[in-house]
Amino acid sequence: MYTKLTAITLSCLAAVAFSAAAQAASFTADQISIPEKPEFMASLGIAKDAKPNLSKEQKRDLAQQAYQEKADQHFMSVHAQKGVNCISCHDPKAVKDVAWMATVGKPAIRQNCQDCHTVQAEVTAHTDTHDKLDCIACHMPNVASANDYSDDQNAAGPKALRRIHTYKINVDPKAASMVQGDIKIKNGTVKGYVLAKDEDGHGFVDLMWSCARNTPADYTVVEGKGCHNQATSKLDEGLVYQDQKEVYGETLKWQKPIKEGYKEVAGAIPRLRKLLEVTKLAPADQTEARLLLDKADDIAAMIKKDGSWGVHAQNYLLDRVQTAQAYLAKAQAIIDNGGYVKAAAK
């Protein structure tokens, strides 16, 4: 059993661990250049006025590597299948040269996740746990490149410098964003890390990288009090997870009641609609019952469209499920007070 520590003690320990991780990584402005985040830059030991010192050739080579890496990831996603490309989100007019691709930065965005994923944005606006984080903090975490990747978070974390562009989070406790595979080279193949694929052939973000990663170079983690990883977290001890299995267990606690409630609501709606067809009701009662079913249906559609099953805003979605169940219970009562229509004689 864990011994509970005070929030102050935990914050100090997390700060020390984070500082040690940052120093061990020896970050420079050639790797990370986000001048609009001076506190974050300072936490990595990078002066706020530091600028990348790269030659044109170095910028080109790094940009080519970064672009290819992100393109490979993006084109394994549903976004690419839907016609989303780089400039769908990024503003090409804001790019003066390739330096923005050569380092970790904040390239100008013309369209945010919330602009398309409006339902998810509405649900997340009601969260009471991750309200300081943006979508990219969980869906596009900094992940190490294949050459630097490791199953050991302590080894891979400080080398995780670029945001992964696979977006979808896979809650399988055994899934990994990268796996050992064959890499084609000029004279054959070699073993190395490659992007994993789900059952639909899409890349994904695993639970460890999404929720419990060690990535001191990710400003979203630092500004959000750290992720749930032991090295960077400033959260209460009970929210610091040891491995992906533990993250999965916590995820299930949020998702299970939402999934069960949704299943109950989604199954009851068509059944009650059929009952309305064979039940004698006054016009006012008939209308009220149908309106109640429509309201429950709207909630069920919203929960399914959101797709997080509670992770985006567990308390809010649980309240929505319970509200839908109340609507259905009232509709059932109205129907029960009516009389069934006898089948017409043949």
Q: What is the pLDDT of residues 178-188, one digit of tens each?
A: 999 988 888 88
| 37 or 106, which is more confident | 37
Q: What share of the chain is helix, strand, coil (3-state, %, to 5)?
A: 50, 10, 40
Closest-CA residue to 204 (of 167, 163, 156): 167
Q: Is residue 232 part of a domain?
A: yes
Among candidates 235, 227, 243, which has minimal Cα distance to 4?
A: 235
Joined together, the tokens standing for residue 193 give 């890390």
Distance separating the N- and C-terminal Cα atoms of the chain: 72
pTM for this predicted structure: 0.87
- Residue showing tokens 């073993």: 191
Same domain, 209 and 317: no
Give the pLDDT score at 118.
97
| Domain-terminating residue out of 185, 210, 236 | 236
Pairwise CA distance, residues 172 & 123, whole Å: 23
What is the per-residue pLDDT for 7?
A: 39
Q: Taking residues 287-300, report their average pLDDT.
A: 98
Segment 278-290 mean pLDDT: 95
Average confidence (pLDDT) over 247-261: 97
- 100 and 149 fall within a common domain: yes
Find out whether 172 and 229 touch, Cβ atoms under 8 Å.
Answer: no
Provide Rg for the chain, Cα atoms: 25
177 with 255, same domain? Answer: no
Q: Mean pLDDT across the chain, nearest whole number?
A: 87
What mean pLDDT comes out for the span 242-246?
93
Domain match, 279 and 229 both: no
Q: What are the pLDDT digits (tens) for 144-159?
A: 999 899 988 888 988 9
Q: Verify that 227 and 322 share a domain, yes or no.
A: no
Residue 170 has pLDDT above 90, yes or no: yes
Q: Going along 168-260, which residue ranges are E strands?
A: 169-170, 178-185, 188-195, 205-206
- pLDDT reported for residue 65: 86
In a domain, 201, yes or no: yes
What's the rounded Cα separation, in Å, for the pair 222 and 239? 15
- Supply the CATH number for residue 331's domain: 1.20.140.10
Question: How many CB atoms neighbour CB 148 within 10 A?
Answer: 14
Residue 242 domain-assigned? no
Residue 56: per-residue pLDDT: 85
For position 98, what pLDDT does the model report?
Answer: 61
Q: For residue 8, what is the enclosing H or E element?
A: helix 7-25
Domain hosting 26: range is 7-236
- Residue 65 — φ and ψ, nearest 5°? -65, -45
Cα separation, 141 vs 1, whole angstroms: 31
Buried b (16+ CB within 10 A) or exposed e, 259-286: eebbeebbebbeebeebbeebebeeebb
Note whether 232 and 265 are same-domain residues.
no
Q: Is 327 left (phi over 0), alpha (psi -120 to 50) or beta?
A: alpha
Last residue of a domain, one of 202, 236, 270: 236
Domain count, the chain: 2
In the predicted structure, residue 168 carries a pLDDT above the cut 90:
yes
Q: How wide is the angle at C-alpha 34 spanned by C-alphas 32 and 39, nearest 5°? A: 105
Q: Tell me, what's the pLDDT at 223?
A: 77
Q: Is there a single domain that holds both residue 153 and residue 254?
A: no
Look at residue 3 in the predicted model and tell me its pLDDT: 37
Same domain, 19 and 145: yes
Handedness of CA 131, 135, 139, 141 (dihedral sign): negative
Q: How far is Cα 33 from Cα 96, in angstroms, rounded to an integer?
A: 15
Q: Determine, yes or no, domain membership for 71.
A: yes
Q: Which structure tokens are listed for 53?
A: 């010192």
pLDDT, residue 100, reads 59
Query: Which among 332, 342, 339 is positioned nearest to 273, based on CA atoms?
Result: 332
Residue 145 and residue 31 share a domain: yes
- Looking at the structure, do residues 329 and 228 belong to the same domain, yes or no? no
